[in-house]
Amino acid sequence: MQIFSKDLYSLIGVASVIFLIAPVSLIAFVMLYNNRKKRHEQEKEWLKTNFENELLKSQIEVQEQTMQNFASNLHDSIGQLLSLLVITLSTIKPEQPARIPEKVDSASQLAKRAIKELRQLSRVMYGQELIRMGLDEAIAFELDYLIKAGTHTIRFNKNYHPKEEQSDKDIILFRIFQELLNNAVRHAEATAIDVSIDQDGDCLRMVIKDNGKGIHENDLLKAQKGLGLFNIRKRVALIAGGIDIITSPGNGTEIKIETPYI
């Protein structure tokens, strides 16, 4: 009987401990869950704020770069056309009436070309307008500056389907492209540049390859900050993408970027 009583008391004791531990454990679990949920919400808010800040920064940078190209093209292309127009008009002489129609026609053609160039530029005076053309069209427009200059061999391949609504990623991707193109032209001193964008389902791949100086593997980490690669990596990570850099001295540089594109 004593043994039974001891077993009963032990059972009651164990049950009491369990009943005490269970609520405490439940409360601790709920508190831990709430803390993790709160931390997760804070991280989501931080990522959202960081993305919005980076998006705004990219928009401003795209505008600045576009305006620089606008000014350059205004000076080099339209300025040259207008100069030729003035020269052509100045050669019109009343004492040579037979040549007046020819010169007027030539001046008219130059004026039309200048107007066409100006209209095209006016469409993209702001970065957002450039992106609304579609990421592929924006890239093609940017490369057109180099093609017109005649200093680089440019190849552009695309398998891309613009979305009905512009993706915020497009602005960041376009800014990344601008930075990489700038690196290829100014730092790598490339003369040939290949660009491709390929959309495969919900994935977008962008590749920029040049025949420039390239970078030694040991110097790549050191060079990243100077070439803006650190900032590029940060932006790629912000759009949940990945970046792969293939380079070596004298063999140019190839940079591949992949990101979800939904």
Tens of pLDDT along the chain (262 residues) come to 444 565 666 666 666 666 666 666 667 666 766 667 666 666 556 656 666 667 666 666 666 666 666 666 665 666 766 777 777 778 888 888 887 888 788 778 878 777 777 766 665 555 556 677 788 888 988 888 788 777 889 999 999 876 665 567 888 898 899 889 988 888 888 999 999 999 988 899 999 999 998 877 666 666 555 556 778 888 888 888 999 989 888 889 999 999 998 7
Contact, 248 vs 217, CB < 8 A? Answer: yes
Contact, 213 vs 249, CB < 8 A? Answer: yes
In a domain, 10, yes or no: no
| Whole-number Å distance between alpha carbons of 19 and 24 | 9
* Number of domains forming the structure of the chain: 1
CATH of the domain at 190: 3.30.565.10
In a domain, 37, yes or no: no
In a domain, 250, yes or no: yes
* pLDDT for res 108: 82
In a domain, 251, yes or no: yes
| Whole-number Å distance between alpha carbons of 28 and 46 | 27
pTM: 0.61
Question: What residues make up the domain containing 239?
Answer: 153-262
The β-bridge partners of 198 are 159, 205
> Among 214, 195, 199, which Cα is nearest to 140's?
195
In a domain, 30, yes or no: no
CB atoms near residue 185 (< 10 Å): 18
Q: Which amino acid is at 96?
A: Q
In a domain, 35, yes or no: no
